[in-house]
A and B are shown apart, each in its own frame.
Chain A
Amino acid sequence: MKEVYAIEMLGITKKFGNILANDHIDIRLKKGHILALCGENGAGKSTIMSILFGLIEPDEGVIKKEGKVVHITNPNDATRLNIGMVHQHFKLVDTFTVLQNIILGDETLKEFNDNPNFFKKTFNYLNKHLFKIVDYKKAREEVNKIINQYDLQVDLDQKIEDISVETQQKVEIIKMLYRQNDILIFDEPTAVLTEQEIQDFLQILRNLKKEGKSIIFISHKLNEVFDVSDEITVIRKGQYIDTLKTSETTKEDISALMVGRKVNGFAIKTQIQPEEEVLRVEHLTMLDPISKKKVVNDISFNVRKGEIVTLAGIDGNGQQEVIYGITGIKKIQSGNITLGGKDISTLSIREKIKSGISHIPEDRHKHGLVLDYSIYENSVLDRYYENQFSKYLFLNDKSIKQYGDALIEKYDVRSSGDGHTIVRGLSGGNQQKIIIGREIERNQDLLIAVQPTRGLDIGAIEGIHNLLLKQRENKKAILLVSLELDQVLALSDRILLMYEGEIVGEFLPQEVSKEKLGLYMSGAKKDKVNAIKENKHE
C-alpha cells in the first residue's frame, strides 16, 4: 500500500555561491503526522524550509503535495497550497494589533451582497475591486472561532510590542490557522521559550495534530523532539542522512547521526586553584529603559584568577544585561562593580576597557568588528589610542601593521590577501578569530566572552574552547555567557544560573546534571544565591 504524503520534497539541491547548503535532500511528511527535522547549526534546516515556503528557489529537485508535483516560487504559492510557516524570528509588525497582524495579507473584506439596493450593489462592486474596505468585525469573529477551537487565548486588540514572546508565537500560529493552512512549519519554535512554555507549546502541537494538521518541526533539542514527533529526519552539513520512526530510535542514535561521530567531551580541563578575586559584582540591579522592569535584580557574584565562571540560562534572562552593566554599555540602576579592588560602577566604556576588561561580544558583525575596516584596523579597534599605536593623535601605521601581522600569524586568520583585506569578505570563523585574538592579546585580567562560538562549525568551536582554557591556565579571570549546556558543562569552573534577572542557582559542573540545570533554567526550581566565593587563604 502506498503511503499518502502531505508533502514530499525530493532531491532538493541549493547552492549559495560554491557552498552547497542543501545537497539532494529528501523530506517526506505523512498526513496528520509531526515530522521533526534535526541537525546542527548550519546543517541546512532553515534553507530547506525556506525552499518549501517559497522564500528561496531550489536549483534542483521536486516538491509534491499529496502526490502531485507543485511549483512554489514565492510565499503566495505556499499559502495557496495551504503551507504555513512560523519563522524563527517572528514576522510580526510591532506597531499593529494582534488582529491586524493575523489578517494582514489575507484581509476579510466588507460585503454587502444580500442587499438588492442598487447603490449598495454598486458600492459592493467598487469595494471589491477598488476600495477594499476591511471588515474587522467579521475577521474578529473568524479569529475568535479559531482561538476557541484550538484554545489559543490572546487579546486581539493589544499591540505586538506589548505582548510576551510566548503570546507572539500564538499569534503566529493563529495566523496560519486563519489562512486554513494544513501543513505547518515551525523553525526552532522553542528557542525563545521557558521550560513551562515549551510544555504548553508541545500541547498546542498535539492539539493541531489531533485536528488533522501535518507539521514539520525544526529543532535540535532532542527531549522535545522525542516528546512530540512521529518521525525524525536528520540532515548534516547539507546532506540528507536518514529518516527514522521516533518510536524505534533513541536520543543517542539521533545525536550521533546529527554530529556524524560519537559525541565525546571537549578539551580536557586541568586542575587549577583559583587565586585572588578580579571582578566583584554586588547587588547589581538594572532596569529596562522603556518598561522600567527589573531585568537584572540584585545579583552578586565574583570571578577569580584562573577560573571560568559561566552565566547560564535561557536567552533573555538578564545574562546579556549583566555584561552590558559590567562593560558600561548600559547604565546600572544600583549596585557595585569592582575590578581588581577598584570601583568601576560608573566609569565610561572606554575607562572600563582601560581599567582591565577584555570583551568578546555576542554579535561579531554588529558589535565586534567594523566590517568595512581592514584586518589591521580591526585589530586595534579598542586600543588604537594606546601609545604603542598612536602619538599626538597620529596613528603609527607601522606598529599597527606589525601588530596585526603578528595577530594574523598567531591566531591563524585566513583571508584572500594580507592584513589590508576588508574583514567583510572573511568567513565567520576567521572574523571571530580576529576579535578573540584582539581581546586576548590585550592581556587584561578579566576576559568576558558572550556566546563566543555562536554559528561556528565544530572545528572552529574546538579551537576557541582551547583558547579560552589556555587563558584560564594563564591565570586570567574569565566570565562566560553561554546558552549551550554542553559548552557550559565542559568549560566552567562555576555555573551561575540566571532566571528572570536573578541568579537562582550556583553549581559545580562535576556535581550537576543537565536535567537539574534544566529545572533551574525553566524556573521550576530557584534558590536565591549570593555567588561570591572567597578564597580561604586570603
Chain B
Amino acid sequence: MNKIKMFFSSLLKKDATKTVITSLWCALIGLILGFIILLFINAKEAAYGMTSVLGNYLIFSNPQDRLNYFGQTLAKTAPLIAMSLSILVSYKAGLFNLGASGQYSIAVIVISFLGIGLNWPWWIVMILAMISASAFAMISGALKAYFNVNEVISGIMLNWIALYLTNGILSNSTNVWDSAHSETYTISNSSNAYIPSIGLDKVFAGNSIVGLGMVLILIVVAVIFILFKKTTIGYELKATGLNGDAADYAGINKIKNIFIATGISGALAGLAAVLSLQNGFTAWRLGSTPPDIGFQGISSAFLGGLHPIGVIFSSYFIVHITEGGSMITDLGFSPEVASIMTSVIIYLSGFVVFVKEVMHKHEIKNELNKLTREKEEEV
C-alpha cells in the first residue's frame, strides 16, 4: 500500500514537473524569438537589450534603485495575477472569459467615480468595483445560460461596449477627467481610495505603490487554490468544465455554476482594476481598443499551467519582461518587443495542450499494455 502511495506521489510530481517544463520551453522559445527581432533591429545592441529585458531592475547598480524597481515590478504583478485567476476560474468551469477587458473597464468607471471623484475609502471602492465587474461578467453568463450564446463571442462584444461606455462616461465627467492628458486623474497616495502601504513601502526603498495590495492578492490566490482543491463549489465547477453532461446527470445545476463562474471571474477582473488604479500607477487612458491586461491575463494563466500558484510566477515573469522592455527604448528598441515575446508564449501554450495530451495518451497506452500483460500472465 505504501509503495503504491509512493509510486503515485512520484507520478503526481511528474505531472507537475511536466507542466513546469513545457511552460519553461514556451518561455524560452518566446525569448529567443524576441532576441532574434532585437538582432534584426540593432545587432550591435541586441545582447545588451536582451539583458535589460531579462534583467529589468537588476541592471541598476544602485541597490536602492534596484529595490525600488523590484517593488514596482511586484506591485504591477498583482493586477495581472488577479486577471490570470479570472481567466483560470472561468476556464476550469468550461468557459473562456474573453470579456475580462470589459469587466476591467466597468470596474474602472466605479473606481473613478467613487475613488477619484468622491474620495471614498479604498475598501468600499474596491468591493463596489468588484461587484459591478462581477455583475457585468454575469451578462455573458446569463446569455450563455438562457440563450446558449457563446461566451467568447459575447465577451468580445461586451469588451467593445464597455470600452465605449467607459470612454463616453469618463471623458464627459470633469471631476475625474484630466482632459489635458486625455486620461483620468491618478489616485495619489494621500487619497482615501489609495490602497495603504502598511509599511511595505519602506522595505522597497520608499516605493509607495507596494502595499496591502500585495498581501490581498496572495490571500486571493490562496482562496482560489482552496476553492478548487477543497470545496464542493470547486468540485462542481470543475465537473461542469470537464464534462457538463455528466455534471447535469449528477444533478449539478449548470446554470447556477455558469453564474458562479462568471461572477467570480468578473470580480477578479474587477480586482485587477482595483490593484492597478488604486495603487496609483495607472489611469484610464482614452484608448481605441479594450485594455491589454485582459489578454495578458490569458497569457499568464496558460503559461502558469492554469494553476493558482503557477500564475504567480507566470504573471511575475510577464510583468518582469514587460517592465524590462520599457527600459530598452534608449537602445533604439521599442518596448513592445516584450509583447511579441508574451504573445509568442501564449501561441505556443496552445501547442502545450496538444503535447501534454500526446504524453497522456502515451501513458494510457502504456498502462493498457501493462494491464493486458498482467491479464495474459494470469491466464
Contact = CB atoms under 8 A, between A and B. Distances in A.
Q: Do chains A and B touch in the complex (CB under 8 A)?
A: yes
Interface of A: 17-19, 327, 329, 348-354, 359, 361, 366-373, 377, 381-382, 384-385, 390, 393-395, 397, 414, 416-418, 420, 424-425, 427
Given A369-B243, A372-B242, A394-B231, A17 B365 contact: yes
Contact of B8 (A348, A367, A390, A417): A417
Contact of A19 (B251, B364, B368): B368
Interface of B: 4-5, 7-8, 11-12, 230-233, 235, 238-239, 242-243, 245-253, 363-365, 367-373
Contact of B243 (A353, A370, A397): A370
Contacts of B233: 393
Nearest to B254: A349
Contacts, number: 95
A353 B251 contact: yes
A353 B249 CA distance: 9
Contacts of A385: 232
16 contacts: A17-B369, A327-B249, A348-B253, A349-B248, A354-B251, A361-B249, A367-B248, A369-B243, A370-B247, A394-B230, A394-B232, A417-B11, A418-B4, A420-B12, A425-B364, A425-B367
Contact of B246 (A366, A393, A394, A427): A366
A370 B248 CA distance: 11
A317 to B, nearest CB: 22
A393 B228 CA distance: 11
Contacts of A414: 371
Contacts of B365: 17
A153 to B, nearest CB: 37
B147 to A, nearest CB: 15
Contact of A367 (B246, B253, B364, B372): B246
Given A349-B249, A350-B252, A359-B249, 12 more contacts: A349-B250, A350-B253, A353-B250, A366-B243, A368-B249, A370-B239, A370-B242, A373-B242, A377-B235, A416-B371, A417-B4, A417-B8
Given A348-B253, A350-B252, A393 B232 contact: yes
A367 B239 contact: no
A416 B367 contact: yes
B243 A395 contact: no
A238 to B, nearest CB: 13
B245 A393 contact: no
A356 B338 CA distance: 58
Nearest to B363: A425
Nearest to A391: B232
Given A19-B372, A417-B7, A424-B364, A329 B249 contact: yes
A12 to B, nearest CB: 21
Contacts of A370: 238-239, 242-243, 246-247
A384 B237 CA distance: 13
A395 B235 contact: yes
Contacts of A424: 364
The 3 closest A-B pairs by CB, nearest first: A350-B251, A382-B250, A349-B251
Contact of B230 (A361, A373, A395): A395
A353 B248 CA distance: 12
A427 B367 CA distance: 10
Contact of A427 (B5, B251, B253, B371): B371
B331 to A, nearest CB: 47
B41 to A, nearest CB: 42
Contacts of A18: 368-369, 372-373
A70 B222 CA distance: 63
A373 B239 contact: yes
B7 A382 contact: no
Contacts of A361: 249
Given A384-B235, A425-B367, A369 B4 contact: no
Nearest to B226: A394
Nearest to A352: B251
Contacts of B231: 393-395
Contacts of A372: 242-243
B370 A371 contact: no
Contacts of A350: 251-253
Contact of B245 (A367, A384, A418, A420): A367
A457 to B, nearest CB: 12
A165 to B, nearest CB: 23
A329 B247 contact: no
Contacts of A427: 368, 371
Nearest to A359: B249
A495 to B, nearest CB: 26
Of the candidates B11, B232, B238, B365, the one having the most CB atoms from chain A within 10 angstroms of its own CB is B232
Contacts of B371: 414, 416, 427
A427 B375 CA distance: 12
A433 to B, nearest CB: 14
B229 to A, nearest CB: 9
A444 to B, nearest CB: 13
A353 B235 CA distance: 18
B6 to A, nearest CB: 11
A327 B250 CA distance: 10
Of the candidates B11, B235, B251, B370, the one having the most CB atoms from chain A within 10 angstroms of its own CB is B251
B246 A368 contact: yes
A23 B8 CA distance: 36
B232 A390 contact: yes
B246 A369 contact: yes
A276 to B, nearest CB: 26
A429 B251 CA distance: 24
A19 B368 CA distance: 9
Contacts of B372: 17-19
Given A18-B369, A369-B246, A420 B251 contact: no
Contacts of A394: 230-232
A250 B261 CA distance: 62
A20 to B, nearest CB: 10
Nearest to B243: A370
Contacts of A369: 243, 246
A352 B7 CA distance: 41
A371 B361 CA distance: 13
A390 B233 CA distance: 11
A507 B107 CA distance: 66
Given A353-B251, A381-B250, A371 B367 contact: no
A361 B246 CA distance: 9
